[in-house]
Amino acid sequence: MGMTVSRKVGCACVRNLVKRRIREAIRQELDPSLSGWELVLIARKGAGDAPFFKIVLEVRRIAGKLTGIKADGLGAGGSSPADEAIKPAGL
């Protein structure tokens, strides 16, 4: 994984904070089975002001694009396995 954080994000301590937050979000959200992927993340202006949960949501969104799962946990079809289990037959 590669990561760049521009000076536009902030001073060195803010850039380092953003890098630590992104690394932690990736550690929490990315599936280890994606180890064959090469991923480059570019932190944009405003990333230094973003709360950690927003960074986690963005990493989750990116991971979903890679795996085909939406950030809300639903598959590309828009329904969860639990929804499929409670649908009446024939619908």
CA-CA distance, 73 to 80, in Å (whole number)?
A: 8
Tell me whether residue 51 is in a domain. yes
The residue among 24 and 35 whose pLDDT is bigger is 24
Domain containing residue 45: 2-74
Question: What pLDDT score does 51 carry?
Answer: 94
Predicted structure pTM score = 0.67
Tell me whether residue 66 is in a domain. yes
Tell me whether residue 11 is in a domain. yes
Tell me whether residue 33 is in a domain. yes
Q: Where are the alpha helices (DSSP H) in 36-80?
A: 52-67
- Domain total of the chain: 1
**CATH code of residue 26:** 3.30.230.10
Q: Which helix (H) or strand (E) holds 21?
A: helix 12-29
Tell me whether residue 91 is in a domain. no
Tell me whether residue 54 is in a domain. yes
CA-CA distance, 6 to 82, in Å (whole number)?
A: 43
CA-CA distance, 9 to 44, in Å (whole number)?
A: 6
Average pLDDT over residues 34-53: 85
